[in-house]
Structure 1
């Protein structure tokens, strides 16, 4: 006789497979529980356990109450970033360790972007739009930090190598959540001088130009220099990792 726990795992396995294959789209509601129980003839406690398994994996969000239900979430680097943050926090790693890791992997991703034969269509337009948005929002610290982080995340997300996109993307998600939290807090105190924001934007423009030109060595070198200079926030030498910050991002 199959145990209730094993039945719950089997139901979760089947729904998980549908999510991973794209049969259930990101943001799409799962069918109502009554319909799912007809499809998977298990008891209500077993069905709820299957939902708890999927929710713990970040693949669904269960909404309680009269208008409740479950929404599908396809796995993303942010999901991995949250779990990576938990592991690193348990090891007492600091956000400075994440910064060091990014200084090694993000320049490699940028070089891959520059080496893509289709970069003129697949990479450059995205980076140019983000660079233009950065310039347009430069007067608002929180907004411009958000755009800056999306620019750096795009250097990873557009590199064309799926393992790097996932692994480096998890690091980017961790760093971005901490930097965005820092920017929100610092805006009310000392802020960041406008000239520093403009200087960072100019470097982004240079990175874009090097990628457009296909200069893999040049962009690797520039991104390394840029990260070494820019990663002094959010006070990396003192900050411990707070994985919960990823959950709070919009």
Structure 2
């Protein structure tokens, strides 16, 4: 039988108390010396447990006289970071990432059309405007492209979809930062597609948003993967 380390046991207990709301967000955990007294564990074990929770994004450590370990809820960035580690660690192929995006992003667009706010629409419009700059470097275009896709997911108001799309968009950006995949024609086509999808979201037209997003992500995948059919592309 595998015996858990004491630090893992303590981290698991504290994690459960955080996730169930016993320790609300922003509240400080008991001081190290108090945890040592309460758990009868060594200070080294307590510190290791706190480091585990910090890495998992469940607490933030603040130094100084008013410092300590303060509870924070894991958010979109934590999920995106975890998914990105999986993508890079497993060397997921670009074709698989694009296929995943084709599967979930049209639904993001449908939800965005139903749930978007005026403020979110303004951000989408700004991202579309940034995509129309033909003279800017490819990196600027790709960053604006990522921003737009993430904004659509956030406008869905589904945090799981938002976190997943953040990870996918960042990984696709890393794999396509190459003029071989994204030339000027692709830039123009992408900008036009984003504008029409944004228009559907503005009009609360979920059916049009799904239809246009489906066509866009499928066409983009076909162009990118068709640029080098013989090379197996993995995310760097």
The structure with the larger Rg is 2
Give 1:106's aligned residue.
105
Structure 1 unaligned blocks of 5 or more? 25-29, 243-250
Conserved 8 A contact 1:77-1:169? yes
What is the Cα-based RMSD across aligned positions, in Å?
3.8
The structure-2 alpha-carbon separation of the partners of 1:135 and 1:60, relative to structure 1 and needing over 3 Å to count, comes to farther
Equivalenced residue count is 220
Tell me if 1:37 matches 2:32. Answer: yes
Q: Of the candidates 198, 205, 217, which is equivalent to residue 208 of structure 1?
A: 198
The structure-2 alpha-carbon separation of the partners of 1:18 and 1:208, relative to structure 1 and needing over 3 Å to count, comes to same
Deviation at 1:114, TM superposition (A): 1.3
Q: What is the distance in 2 between the residues matched to 1:19 and 1:239? A: 46
Conserved 8 A contact 2:54-2:60? yes
Give 2:54's aligned residue.
55
Give 1:246's aligned residue.
none
Deviation at 1:18, TM superposition (A): 7.0
Deviation at 1:214, TM superposition (A): 1.8
Q: Of the candidates 145, 150, 168, which is equivalent to residue 148 of structure 1?
A: 145
1:127-138 superposed matches below 5 A: 127-136=124-133
Q: What is the distance in 2 between the residues matched to 1:155 and 1:45? A: 45
Q: What is the distance in 2 between the residues matched to 1:194 and 1:71? A: 48
Give 1:139's aligned residue.
136
Give 2:165's aligned residue.
172
Structure 2 unaligned blocks of 5 or more? none
Give 2:233's aligned residue.
239
- 2:136 partner SS: coil
- 1:75 partner SS: coil
Q: What is the distance in 2 between the residues matched to 1:78 and 1:135? A: 28
Deviation at 1:230, TM superposition (A): 1.4
Conserved 8 A contact 2:113-2:201? yes
- 1:78-97 CA-partner distances (Å, limit 9, x unpaired): 43344345556777753322
TM-score, with structure 2 as normaliser: 0.72
- 2:201 partner SS: helix
TM-score, with structure 1 as normaliser: 0.68
Deviation at 1:226, TM superposition (A): 0.5
Q: What is the distance in 1 between the residues matched to 2:125 and 2:183? A: 24
Conserved 8 A contact 2:146-2:170? no
Deviation at 1:101, TM superposition (A): 2.0
Conserved 8 A contact 2:25-2:72? no
Deviation at 1:222, TM superposition (A): 0.6
Q: Which moved more, 1:146-155 or 1:131-140?
A: 131-140
Conserved 8 A contact 1:12-1:50? no
Deviation at 1:73, TM superposition (A): 6.3
Conserved 8 A contact 1:80-1:170? yes
Bigger relative contact order, structure 1 or 2 (CA pairs below 8 A, ≥6 apart): 1
- 1:125-172 CA-partner distances (Å, limit 9, x unpaired): 221122223335861211121111111111111113x3xx31x33432
Q: What is the distance in 2 between the residues matched to 1:125 and 1:47? A: 47
